[in-house]
Chain A
Amino acid sequence: MGQQIESALRQSMHRVLVVLVSFLPGVLVFLLAVILLTALGLLLAAMARRLLTAARFDERLAANETAGSPASFSDWSPSHSPTLLVSRAVLWVCILAGVAIGISAFDASYSTNSQLSQFLLPYLTHVLGAVLLLFFGGLLARFLSRTVLIGAVNAQLQYARFLSLGVKWLVLVLTAAMALDHLQIGGTIVELAFGILFGGIVLTLALAIGLGSRDLVSRSIEKNIDKPAARPMDPSTFPESSETPRPKLRHF
């Protein structure tokens, strides 16, 4: 009985060791691939940074940007430096390549039967795509919310912040739904939830603007009926408080 137990335990231990011995080289290869590619990435990133700094990349790019352009390249960059953005992009591309190579190597050395890399690699590209979607969606949301906020404030709208938040969340919800769809997570539940959320935000915004602008619209209609030639309101003019003509400002 004791011998049988001992034999069973030895066999189990042997199997564990066999698995460990066949698993560890795979892990080692994976780590090696990641470390090597990371080191290569660091080297390439440093070279790219030096090269771009020497070529005055930031200044050249800034000179080609206009004040009215939508989101400038530097807005997307860490510390507003396109050079830093490029060098970091090089580094991360190398790291991701290292991970992909490591998974393939791990798959090859660990088990010939499993289709780990065949499943993981395409999914990794999906994850990368989703991360990029979230990144650019976040940037777009911030840019659009600021544009709406500043535009609404300059148009003297009282609900400017609310409008800006609405636009921001619209874009963020859309981005999140796209990312989940890209990762094939949630299926129809995500689509349904997205539809409800998106529709809800749009309806809320429409109601808020409609109710908030009720007085403005009624005043505008009254003005048009009473004074067809009345001037539209703008920040440089003043509300008419009496029958005397308003003094006009000349900003330029």
Chain B
Amino acid sequence: MRARMASAFPERAVLIAVVENSGTTSQAESNDSIRMVAYPATAHGQAGWVLTASDYLGASQLALEHGAEATLVLGAEAVSLSTEALQGLAGTVLRGGADLAIPRYKTGPRDALVSSALLYPLTRALFGASIHLPLPLDAAFSARMAKRLAATARRPDNTTDSEPLLWPVSEAVIASFAVRETEAGKRTLPQPLDTDLNSLLTEVVGSLFSDIELKASFWQRARVAVPAKPAAEPDSSTGQAEGTVDVRYMVEGFRNAYTNLQEIWSLVLPPQSLLGLKKVSRVPAEDFEVPPDLWARTVYDFVLAYHLRTINRGHLLGALTPLYLAWVASHLRRSAGDDALAASHVEETAAAFVTEKPYIVARWRWPDRFNP
């Protein structure tokens, strides 16, 4: 990694900070242009599969301490990033004038599904930032963004029992900082150790919903969403080769949830959405599709229920899991293993969130108003 950094930034003074117990280095080392320092691991330990608040805090503190012009935070498996990707990320901040650069990797139709279904559409619609991975694995940011991130990461977060997450994109947008997405090519995506989708979804989506709640005064103001950039080049290596996924299992799961969770969904969703879900549940698996506008309204209703604490938040996010899996089934059927189709479906979903934004704004302001 050190050699990669040296080749990526040959004419710049680079300070590399590595976790003390990582085995890479035990004490400060120096070279012509590259300096290496060790910093203590955070109290929470490493979440690993995504950058957490403590990662941003540690990196920001080091950056401010050493007066760094730009900071590049690299997550787990960063060795799979190309030199061009590293240059692109840092260059976007150093030369492009951006305060925050988030990479966009080449992903297949079955990758980063939570981002495609929830994180990207919500970030794009509510914060006007067309960033496909708002919960990044790597990021580059300027000195003033480092200050902002350090301040945010110091705030106590009681929304989760585990390592608190931080949403750098919304932070940057709130502060009117420039946010850019850079193409970063292929990268090995580390997966969380906890394989329970329900708990992971509760953690990540709960954190995002809390962030949305916290920044309600910002996104309620009328804003024009940043137009989406053209989809990244499809990752052909994971495309058609693996064949079309059988979505029947997921569709059956959704039907089972529709039969059993009506009592809970009816507390959260208006009759129109329930009717829409009923129609979806009756569609055969071959034609199964969750319409993007229905999905957008459903997610917005869950955001609102999270804010209003209509039911216990753990229950609420648990009840969202089968709906999310229904969207995944719909996405897999629509994409049929084709990356371009998958990207098109993701953009269609995100566009529906933008279109339906007045719905969440109205319901947030007048939650008790009659809503058919």
Contact = CB atoms under 8 A, between A and B. Distances in A.
B161 interface: yes
Contacts of B192: 252
Interface of A is mostly: loop
Interface in A59-85: 62-72, 74-75, 80
Interface of B is mostly: helix
Name which of A71, A151, A235, A241 has the most chain B CB atoms within 10 A of its CB.
A235
A149 B260 contact: yes
Interface residues of B, number: 56
Interface stretch (A27-35, A89-97, A185-193, A243-251): A243-251
A251 B114 contact: yes
Contacts of A40: none
A235 to B, nearest CB: 6
Contacts, number: 124
Interface string A141-175: 00100110111111011101100100000000000
Interface in B261-307: 261, 263-264
A68 B314 contact: yes
Contacts of B110: 247-250
B264 A149 contact: yes
A235 B253 contact: yes
- In order of increasing CB-CB distance, the 9 nearest A-B pairs are A150-B318, A67-B206, A247-B242, A67-B313, A250-B111, A160-B260, A161-B260, A80-B309, A238-B249
A193 to B, nearest CB: 29
27 contacts: A63-B158, A67-B202, A67-B313, A68-B161, A68-B314, A72-B309, A72-B312, A75-B312, A80-B308, A146-B264, A146-B311, A150-B261, A153-B257, A153-B260, A156-B256, A157-B256, A161-B260, A234-B196, A235-B325, A238-B246, A247-B110, A247-B245, A249-B328, A251-B328, A252-B191, A252-B192, A252-B200
A248 B250 CA distance: 13
B253 to A, nearest CB: 5
Contact of B113 (A74, A147, A251): A251
